[in-house]
Amino acid sequence: MPGTAAERWIVYVVAVVVFGGSVGLAFLIRLLVFDALRRWAARTSNFIDDTVIAATRTPFVIWCACAGFYGATRIAFLPNEFTKVSDKVLLVLVIGSATFALAQATVSIVRQTGARRGSSVAVVGLTQTTVRIVVLALGGLILLNALGISITPLITALGIGGLAVALALQDTLANTFAGIYITLSRHIRPGDYIRIEGGDEGVVTDITWRATTVRTIRNNIVIIPNSKLAQSVVTNFHLRESRHRLDIPVGVSYSSDPEQVEAVLVEEAKAAVGEVDNLMAEPEPYVLFMPGFGDFSLNFTLVVHVRSYVDQFQVQHRLRKRIFARFRKEGIEIPFPIRTVYLKDRPGPPRTST
């Protein structure tokens, strides 16, 4: 180390300049090079390069800062005790930031790959959380090994304490394993419309390690613990296909011709295909004379098919308006409820009035 005070100050200034220059250079590279790489990756069909560039953009500054600080400590001839501690801190920062970047990139790749291949397993929150935990755990083991800390006692301690943790977290573990079962069985997937025993129904938005979230028709979110969902009777309207049969009951006057009513309903349903969103042409619409003879009307059922369960409400709304307008045009009457009441005199002596 230089002996004079002036020389020492010069060395310290050089060390600070090296550290500051490395940080400034990192921001400059991120501004110019990373933006150029991001634009280049956006033009490619491969999404992995976009993911890697996005994941390493922020950690790159940390790595450059660590390299600059490491060089500055060597230039400044700092005490060995300080450099030993600083080297370990730098090692933690480098391995930690690299691990988080790798976890972010891995989760993003798994999610995008699953979305492109139509795999519901890859897009649920439970799968992404599991992948992130595995990557972080491996990074933690690598960090402990790099710091010279033996992981054997840690694994032994975890094995001994595993029973106590399992007992303390019974509900959490039950929900986690139920979530794994639900995800792997693929009986319930994000985007499916389900009805749960008890009345709750809606679209599955996500399956996490603790609960499954369902968005109802009224746009409310219902949070169901995975263990409860796994034990419930669930109706999945998207398994194996999302197509849904829609029955529209129609009642007409007894003076109406059933053949005419059937023909009008089928014609109007076929004419609505292409004009009413999510109304399917196949299977073709048809009419059933069911439930048949009512108290005051002839009852028919128009059967059509829609793309999914949630589409039935809008389709039914628009079809009913078209049918009502067509019935008016054809002179087909939709009767009001009618009851005929017979009054019978009670036997007895004639009543007198005063």
Tokens representing 342 are 């017979």
Based on the fold, state whether residues 21 and 132 are members of the same structural domain.
yes
Q: Which of 132, 148, 164 is the last residue of a domain?
A: 148
The answer to whether residue 129 is domain-embedded is: yes
The answer to whether residue 341 is domain-embedded is: no
Based on the fold, state whether residues 253 and 218 are members of the same structural domain.
no
Q: Which of 104, 131, 148 is the last residue of a domain?
A: 148
The answer to whether residue 354 is domain-embedded is: no
**pLDDT per residue of the chain (354 residues) written in tens, 0 to 9:** 555 766 667 777 888 888 888 888 888 888 888 888 888 877 877 778 788 888 888 888 888 888 888 888 888 777 788 888 888 888 899 999 999 999 988 888 888 877 777 666 666 777 788 888 888 888 888 888 888 877 777 666 666 666 666 666 677 788 888 888 888 888 888 888 898 887 788 999 888 888 999 998 888 899 999 888 888 899 888 877 778 899 999 999 998 999 999 999 999 999 998 888 889 988 899 999 988 888 888 999 999 999 888 888 899 999 999 999 999 999 999 888 877 777 776 666 655 554
Based on the fold, state whether residues 235 and 257 are members of the same structural domain.
no
The secondary structure of the chain, three-state, reads CCCCHHHHHHHHHHHHHHHHHHHHHHHHHHHHHHHHHHHHHHCCCCCHHHHHHHHHHHHHHHHHHHHHHHHHHHHCCCCHHHHHHHHHHHHHHHHHHHHHHHHHHHHHHHHHHHHHHCCHHHHCHHHHHHHHHHHHHHHHHHHHHHCCCCCHHHHHHHHHHHHHHHHHCHHHHHHHHHHHHHHHHCCCCCCCEEEECCCCEEEEEEECCCEEEEECCCCCEEEEEHHHHHHCCEEECCCCCCCEEEEEEEEECCCCCHHHHHHHHHHHHHHHECCECCECCCCCCEEEEEEEECCCCEEEEEEEEECCHHHHHHHHHHHHHHHHHHHHHHCCCCCCCCCCCCCCCCCCCCCCCC
The answer to whether residue 54 is domain-embedded is: yes
Based on the fold, state whether residues 178 and 133 are members of the same structural domain.
no
- pTM to 2 decimals? 0.62
Based on the fold, state whether residues 170 and 118 are members of the same structural domain.
no
Q: Which of 216, 240, 264 is the last residue of a domain?
A: 240
Residue 158's pLDDT is what?
Answer: 63
Based on the fold, state whether residues 80 and 138 are members of the same structural domain.
yes
Could you tell me the CATH number of the domain that includes residue 229?
Answer: 2.30.30.60
Number of domains in the chain: 3
pLDDT digits (tens, 9 = 90+) for 10-50: 777 888 888 888 888 888 888 888 888 888 877 877 778 78
Residue 264's pLDDT is what?
Answer: 92
Q: Give φ, ψ of 224 to 5 degrees.
A: -115, 120
The answer to whether residue 339 is domain-embedded is: no
Based on the fold, state whether residues 26 and 140 are members of the same structural domain.
yes
The answer to whether residue 294 is domain-embedded is: yes
The answer to whether residue 344 is domain-embedded is: no
Could you tell me the CATH number of the domain that includes residue 272?
Answer: 3.30.70.100
The answer to whether residue 337 is domain-embedded is: no
Based on the fold, state whether residues 83 and 144 are members of the same structural domain.
yes
Rounded distance between C-alpha atoms, residue 195 and residue 201, angstroms: 4
Residue 2's pLDDT is what?
Answer: 56
**Domain of 220?**
150-240
Based on the fold, state whether residues 72 and 167 are members of the same structural domain.
no
Based on the fold, state whether residues 166 and 263 are members of the same structural domain.
no
Rounded distance between C-alpha atoms, residue 239 and residue 346, angstroms: 62
Based on the fold, state whether residues 24 and 110 are members of the same structural domain.
yes
Based on the fold, state whether residues 312 and 220 are members of the same structural domain.
no
Residue 354's pLDDT is what?
Answer: 47
289: Cα within 13 Å, side-chain hemisphere: 12
For β-strands 221-225 and 234-236, DSSP reports them as: unpaired
321, 337, 340: which is closest to 329 by C-alpha? 321
Residue 52's pLDDT is what?
Answer: 85
